Amino acid sequence: MTDFDPLRTVLWRNEILVELLHRAREFDLPGWYLTAGCVVQTVWNVLSERAATHGIEDYDLFYHDSADLSWAAEDRVIRTVAEACEDLRVDVEVRNEARVHLWYEAKFGTPCSPFPSTEAAIDAFPAVCSCVGVRLEPGGTWRFYAPHGLDDLFAMVVRPNPVLAPRAVYERKAARWRSRWPELTVLTSR
């Protein structure tokens, strides 16, 4: 069992992330998490003694709603979140993970089976260290999801995830991260 206390302690240092956790809970999106870059990069920033928000391009708010797979439904959520978070002056990337299979192959050249949950989508992120999600449950309890644990994340190791991501996607992401966090150890892709 993974001890998430160190992760919670580090994430508290990113005031934007913590504020987004509170706001996201109010959107009542099914299976939502703040995930990927904003979580991982906050950890790297704190470990490397940078400002907690250094280099974070966007804050990923992913959810899973298979009841309506239309772009219009997802776009309504995107607009609602953008309006509610406008004062934070950050890009909040909202994605319905139930829809990813509809566009993934056209964008990345690899087919993607439908994800049955946001957790299944997190399982398929390109790097093992980025397979992490956090949300606030009713009552304010922090809930974490990290199928590979936190060892790579806290060791600043970027390792390819064999689950889905094409090699080129992993390599682009790893190169971009390495340019901002040269302390990272980037392992070669499979």
Question: Hey, what are 110's tokens?
Answer: 């690899």
pTM, to two decimals: 0.92
Is the predicted pLDDT of residue 177 greater than 60, yes or no? yes
Go through the chain and tell me how many residues it has.
190
Which segment, 22-36, 101-115, 151-165, is predicted with the most confidence on average? 22-36
Q: Dihedral sign, CA of 79, 84, 85, 87?
A: positive
Please give the pLDDT value at position 162.
Answer: 82
Question: Hey, what are 133's tokens?
Answer: 């999600």
Please give the pLDDT value at position 3.
Answer: 82
Nearest to 127 by CA among 91, 71, 77, 178: 178
Please give the pLDDT value at position 1.
Answer: 54
Task: Determine the Cα–Cα distance for residues 107 and 23; give it in Å rounded to an integer.
Answer: 30
36 within 8 A of 153, measured Cβ to Cβ: no
Residue bearing the bigger pLDDT, 109 or 155: 155
For 104-148, the pLDDT digits (tens) are 888 888 888 999 999 999 999 999 999 999 999 988 899 999 999
38 within 8 A of 73, measured Cβ to Cβ: no
For 78-116, the pLDDT digits (tens) are 999 999 999 999 999 999 999 999 998 888 888 889 999
Q: Tally the C-alpha atoms within 13 A of residue 131's C-alpha that lie toward its C-beta.
A: 27
Please give the pLDDT value at position 43.
Answer: 98
Nearest to 127 by CA among 187, 95, 170, 190: 170
Is the predicted pLDDT of residue 189 greater than 60, yes or no? no
For 62-80, the pLDDT digits (tens) are 999 999 999 999 999 999 9
Q: Residues 79, 126, 83, CA angle at the centre, nearest 5°?
A: 10
Task: Determine the Cα–Cα distance for residues 165 and 87; give it in Å rounded to an integer.
Answer: 34
